[in-house]
Amino acid sequence: MGVVVQKYGGTSVADPERIRAVADRVVSTRKAGNDVVVIVSAMGGTTDDLLDLATKVAAHPEPRELDMLLTAGERISIALLCMAIIDLGFEAVSFTGSQAGIVTDTIHGKARILEVKGARIREAIRDQKISVVAGFQGVSTTADITTLGRGGSDTSAVAIAAAVGADVCEIYTDVDGVYTADPRRVPRARKLDAISYEEMLELSASGARVLQVRSVEYARNHGVPIHVRSSFTNEAGTWVTEETEQMEQAIISGVAHDATEAKMTIKAVPDRPGVASRIFTALAGEAINVDMIVQNVSSHGHTDVSFTLPRGDLVTAGEVIEALCAELDAAGFDVEDDIAKISLVGAGMKTHPGVAARMFAALAAAEVNIEMISTSTIRVSCVIKEADLDRALHAVHESFELDAPGSDV
């Protein structure tokens, strides 16, 4: 008995039948004595269709108008879900992000939540009504409608869960939890019962698509327990919570991949103070999210600087870097868009040496060449050729015996 926040993704509300199934699940949670707040995504495929429409009327749709358009998707699903719940004899009320008091900054397309007022949701809870809130959207400090970036409904859900002091934020999706690898690529991947915020953050940031990175960040900062589960079964999924001793004992939690990035190399950049700052300040100024950065050893006062970035930002980054090459007197730049990143993540890395070595050995045995390496305390990532990705995933998953429950190095 408590406040349960449930978020349903696009596949869970893809058609009228599924919307009725979601209504059933919401109502049974209510009948069990909980206060329920629901967050929904747009019906599956809707956001993509709307994006498509936009690019058919304009080459570069105006970000403010694009946000106005995209938020329509979630408006449709909140209204439909409320109707279905009311049809079952329960009281429900829908809210847009703005009505729910989700206040964001002014960056259209990737706005950040600054505050969740939530007055109307709390009022609905007091009145024993189920609230259904549109995910992925908010209202900016300048009163414009904003979106939170693809997959942003996860973040809406966690933020609302924090604001109403929910006992759990259930994220219903088309997979039944967080896996040791993407099961579509690694059939022997295993579902995890639990994972820490830190590990989930690394997995999400490394390409695991199950939760939006910002949602995990938000959950960690506000201590919101997340339960990732399937809307098609009643099975328990994966809990994302504070780290426990058991999690650390598992050493490795999983291996994530990302085949959506590209690599840029700026050649023969003069090796003097301020150059890196100049390059990455310029990219940041265009809100380009640079990931791995490698600077080579300097030779004859010049060095190569490589970094990875989303492929979708290549055009903008190309313009920025081209201008900078002239300004900095660099020799030019290369782009590789056939790369992939494979990342091994586990809390136990903090205390167990040799994990990186073992990963490199597995890649070597599979004849996968490593182009770039980066690490955090609980992650090792390698940039490789995209064509080698499946082979690399299998090799690493196998080497760390991630298909065996409670696997140990």
Q: Is residue 9 within the footprint of Mg ion (CB under 5 A)?
A: yes
| Stretch of 40-48, 59-67, 113-121, 388-396 lying at the interface with ligand ASP (CB under 6 A) | 40-48
Q: Is residue 12 within the footprint of ligand ASP (CB under 6 A)?
A: no
3-class DSSP state of 126: helix
Q: Is residue 180 within the footprint of ligand ASP (CB under 6 A)?
A: no
3-class DSSP state of 325: helix
Q: Is residue 136 within the footprint of ligand ASP (CB under 6 A)?
A: yes
Exposed / middle / buried, residue 111 (Cβ in 10 Å: 0-12, 13-18, 19+): buried
Which CB sits closer to Mg ion, 7 or 397? 7
144: tokens are 């414009």
| Stretch of 6-14, 24-32, 102-110, 313-321 lying at the interface with Mg ion (CB under 5 A) | 6-14
Residue 58 identity (one-letter amino acid): A
| Stretch of 151-159, 193-201, 321-329, 335-343 lying at the interface with Mg ion (CB under 5 A) | 151-159
Which CB sits closer to ligand ASP, 73 or 237? 73
| Stretch of 107-115, 147-155, 275-283, 399-407 lying at the interface with ligand ASP (CB under 6 A) | 147-155
Q: Is residue 97 within the footprint of ligand ASP (CB under 6 A)?
A: no
Which CB sits closer to Mg ion, 43 or 378? 43
Among candidates 394, 402, 4, which has minimal Cα distance to 167? 4
What is the phi/psi pair of residue 240, to 5°?
A: -115, 115
Q: Is residue 348 within the footprint of ligand ASP (CB under 6 A)?
A: no
- Min dist. Cβ of residue 210 to Mg ion (A): 8
Q: In sequence order, what are the residues at sequence separation of 6 or more whose Cβ sits closer than 8 angstroms to the Cβ of residue 153?
A: 7, 9, 39, 40, 41, 74, 135, 136, 212
**Residues 227-261 as b or e (16 or more Cβ within 10 Å = b):** bbbbbeeeeebbbbbeeeeebbebbbbbbbbbeeb
Q: Is residue 151 within the footprint of ligand ASP (CB under 6 A)?
A: yes
- Min dist. Cβ of residue 39 to ligand ASP (A): 9
Q: Is residue 150 within the footprint of ligand ASP (CB under 6 A)?
A: yes
Pairwise CA distance, residues 264 & 318, whole Å:
9
Which CB sits closer to Mg ion, 12 or 94? 12
- Min dist. Cβ of residue 312 to Mg ion (A): 17
Which CB sits closer to ligand ASP, 157 or 344? 157
* Number of CB atoms found within 10 A of residue 376's CB: 15
Q: Is residue 73 within the footprint of Mg ion (CB under 5 A)?
A: no
Q: Which of 42, 162, 216, 380 binds ligand ASP (CB under 6 A)?
A: 42
Residue 117 identity (one-letter amino acid): K
226: tokens are 């997340």
Which CB sits closer to ligand ASP, 151 or 177? 151
Q: Is residue 152 within the footprint of ligand ASP (CB under 6 A)?
A: yes
- Min dist. Cβ of residue 151 to ligand ASP (A): 5
Which CB sits closer to Mg ion, 9 or 61? 9
Pairwise CA distance, residues 276 & 305, whole Å:
8
> First vs last Cα of the chain: how many Å apart?
40
Q: Let me know the angle formed at the C-alpha of 137 by 136 and 138, rounded to the nearest 5 degrees.
A: 145
Instruction: Please report, as ranges, the residues that interact with Mg ion according to CB under 5 A.
Output: 9, 151
Instruction: Please report, as ranges, the residues that interact with ligand ASP according to CB under 6 A.
Output: 9-10, 41-42, 47, 73, 135-136, 150-153
